[in-house]
Chain A
Amino acid sequence: MISLPKINPAEIPEQAASWADDRFAAASPVRKLMNKVFPDHWSFMLGEIALYSFIVLLLSGTFLALYFEPSALEVKYAGSYTPLYGIEMSRAYETTLNLSFDVRGGLIMRQIHHWAALLFMAAMVVHMLRVFFTGAFRRPREINWVVGALLFIMGFFEGFAGYSLPDDAISGTGLRVMSAIMQSTPVIGTWFTFSVFGGEYPGTEILPRLYIAHVLLLPGLILGLIAVHMGLLVKQKHTQYPGPGRTEKNVVGVRMVPNFSAKAGGFFMVVFGMIAFLGGVFQINPVWIFGPYTAAVVSAGTTPDWYVAWSDGALRLFPDWEIYIGPYTIPAMFWPSAFLMGAVFSMLIGYPFLEARLTKGLRPPQPASAAPGRTRADGAGRDGDRLHHRVLLMSAGNDIIAEKFDISLNAMTWIGRIGLLLAPPIAYYITYRLCLGAQQGDRITLAHGVETGIIRRLPNGEFIEIHQPLGPADSHGHSELEYSGWAVPKKMNRLGALGNAAKGFFVPLEKPGEAPVSPAPVDQRELTRSDD
């Protein structure tokens, strides 16, 4: 009889770990990674949502790829959706219908994929806003901003390629508009369009080409860029809001193992669950209603997915200004489409460098010291940019808005045109004034102290409110504190006077802490007694 060596289960992890360490010398880098500290602020989860939706996209997309054929081959539909029975359509549209009606679980996968794509783009945009408004893109992290901007741009085209694939009436029309955009490029436009489509629009080449771009080239690029994005993040560390004990050299928060990995794992499940819920309950892109794409058919309310909508809105608003150079034409369409996209994407990529050049020496380079207070006024300009986007986005739905609210379509177009020019400067001015006002308020608090809410009546009958000075005060109670750009406490509980607010949204999650001995003036008790 062979006697097996006794295995002590408790030693297995250690043995496996030392087995791996003997071969890969992994202990040191893994320990470093496990000890990486993640800041503990909610706004840092926005990028995570984008990452998790991308994982969902890869999983659901792989499923779809097993059943979808990107072929322009003409077929007669014979599937189980009777309203389209016997209709001529492309194989791509037929396999999309099959995915929706004949493949078990196909429809929820399609819807999960589409919802995840919308969430991916939305999470990236919100994440970018966080990075933008906290100044986290500044030196030394400009390159990671560029990588992030490229991720957004790749996602934009990846999404466009994806929703062009089913070859339904709406996606085909979108592709027609895209071909017109490419064709509007001066000098190379016509040749470029014919090269991309392999001949005159639509041809039979474009679907397989889009497919390879959608399932191989762009996801590959996105994956690679995500790896760079994460690598740079680990190398350069997170940014963080300024606060006690926080410097440019450290990060205050939780370690990768165990806290962050547990949190992130749970959060991934939440994101996955949310997308599955959306995909399972809310219908999205019901291609069988739109019918197959033919060049002669279009329906009203043809709009792209939301993240492409700003470019469609621009197309609707730009006037009919064609330019002629000798025998050649620059189509009016060039400016609100190819040119605008190029300009927006270049601005996005180049912003950190542009800002550094324009504000040379004015601005602390690093975010922990570049506190929100000081940058409040800068934010105003960015609000203006976002409003541009908002107006364009709204205009992409101008016909739907006009129909639902019973406004003339032409009036909507003019509202959009005027709004595009007027709204951003107005918003800039208002935000700028608000920021200056907020700064002024902070300065007043620094000089006069925090309002305690305690009113005292003086012997001469005058009422005064007692202020708690924030620093050494002169005989009038005025401090000489310099405005440093960071948030100023404006309530007594921020000074520890009344204990912290209890946490919890609907019900308190914890017992409110015991209020420390209040630094309130001695005669407070007398005041309350007089109320009785």
Chain B
Amino acid sequence: MQQTFDDTGIKRRPMLKAAIAIGAAPLGLAIAAPLVGALITNPGKDPITTAWKEGIRLVRDDGTPIQPGDMHTGSIETVFPGIPDGNTNKYADSPTLLIHMRPEDAAKVKVQPGYETAHYGDYFAYSKICTHAGCPASLYEQQTQRLLCPCHQSQFDLLESCKPVFGPASRRLPQLPIKLDSAGYFVAQSDYRVPIGPALWEHPDNDK
């Protein structure tokens, strides 16, 4: 009998210790559950959606809508969804850059497949939230046609539909499809088609 036990190679003391540990683990979990449980929040669709929807106007910080012709060529403007509190941190994922490119630059833009009608003339709209760490990618280099994020220096090439060309970012700034509404103001065609901001585990579009 003893021989059989020895043959298994299982020592009594470590075996007992392991058994106690396995037995105590659920007890620990039971104590932790109510403390942690209250904190747990289901992300739902929030990480991959923004406030933009079809027909929502692109408005400035002061709430005024924008028409073609309001902006000089080669200029950018930060726009927000034209909804109540659209420019506040309640919609921190929605700030967008509306760019009026110079006609000669706009002609050179390599549009992504599926985005042929996403821009309006020389006006392009891209998410302002950097796809690296979520800072606003807000520095516009008019001469090189690049957007630069001041936090970690990711650079996006406007001529390639905001493809990252330098630095740590690995994804494009998503493009917001835009059009004009009946009054002649810029509105969104839809929400962004890919999630904005930093990458995440459940990223539905995992090919840049």
Contacts and interface: CB of A to CB of B under 8 A. Distances in A.
Interface of A: 72, 74, 88, 172-173, 176-177, 179-181, 183-191, 193-202, 293-302, 312, 315-322, 324, 327-333, 336, 398-399, 409-410, 413
Contacts of B47: 183, 190, 194, 200
6 contacts: A191-B42, A294-B87, A298-B151, A330-B201, A331-B199, A399-B150
Contact of B92 (A201, A298, A299): A201
Given A295-B129, A316-B167, A202 B206 contact: no
Contacts of B200: 183-184, 189-190, 329, 331
A179 B134 contact: yes
B12 interface: no
Interface in B153-194: 153, 164, 166-171
B100 interface: no
Nearest to A412: B153
Interface residues of B, number: 48
A177 B109 CA distance: 30
Contact of A298 (B40, B136, B170, B207): B136
Contacts of A184: 198-200
B201 A318 contact: no
Contacts of A173: 135, 151
A321 B168 CA distance: 8
A100 B190 CA distance: 44
Nearest to B46: A200
Contacts of B152: 312, 315-316
A164 to B, nearest CB: 14
Chain B binding surface SS class: loop
A285 to B, nearest CB: 18
Contacts of B198: 180, 183-184, 331, 333
B153 A409 contact: yes
A318 B167 CA distance: 8
B208 interface: yes
A180 B149 CA distance: 15
Nearest to B48: A190
A139 B46 CA distance: 51
Nearest to B205: A329
Given A296-B87, A399-B153, 5 more contacts: A177-B133, A191-B41, A194-B41, A296-B95, A316-B153
Contacts of A399: 150, 153
Nearest to B93: A200
B33 to A, nearest CB: 14
Nearest to A326: B206
Contact of A180 (B133, B138, B164, B203): B133
Interface string B55-93: 000000100000000000000001010000001110111
B168 A319 contact: yes
A329 B199 CA distance: 8
Nearest to B49: A200
Nearest to A320: B170
A177 B201 contact: no
Among A185, A300, A336, residue most surrounded by chain B Cβ atoms (within 10 Å): A300
Nearest to B94: A295
Interface of B: 39-43, 46-47, 61, 78, 80, 87-89, 91-93, 95, 128-129, 132-136, 138-139, 150-153, 164, 166-171, 197-204, 206-208
A410 B80 CA distance: 31
B92 A315 contact: no
Contacts of B39: 195-196, 198
Name the residue in B61, B80, B202 with the highest tally of chain A Cβ atoms < 10 Å from its Cβ: B202
A294 B201 contact: no
Nearest to A312: B152
B134 A294 contact: no
Contact of A177 (B41, B151, B153): B151
Which of A88, A176, A301 lies at the interface centre, i.e. has the most chain B CB atoms within 10 A of its CB? A176
A199 B89 contact: no
B137 to A, nearest CB: 9
A181 B46 contact: no
B35 to A, nearest CB: 12
Contact of B207 (A200, A324, A410): A324
Contact of B166 (A179, A185, A199, A413): A413
A298 B87 CA distance: 15
Q: Pick from B46, B133, B166 the residue with the most CB of A within 10 Å.
A: B133
B150 A294 contact: no
Contacts of B89: 72, 172, 202, 293-295
A191 to B, nearest CB: 6
A173 B39 CA distance: 23
B207 A320 contact: no
Contacts of A193: 43
A172 B200 CA distance: 20
A392 to B, nearest CB: 13
A329 B203 contact: yes
A177 B135 contact: yes
Q: A-B pairs with the 6 shortest C-beta distances?
A: A320-B170, A295-B92, A331-B199, A296-B95, A180-B198, A329-B203
B150 A301 contact: yes
A497 B127 CA distance: 77
B92 A202 contact: yes
B98 to A, nearest CB: 12
Which of the listed residues B89, B203, B204 has the most CB atoms from chain A within 10 Å of its own CB? B89
B199 A332 contact: yes
Nearest to B78: A296
A297 B41 contact: no
A72 B88 CA distance: 12
A291 to B, nearest CB: 13
B46 A296 contact: no
Nearest to A188: B201
Nearest to A316: B152
Contacts of A185: 201
A300 B199 contact: no
B133 A176 contact: yes
B197 to A, nearest CB: 7
Contacts of A198: 39, 41
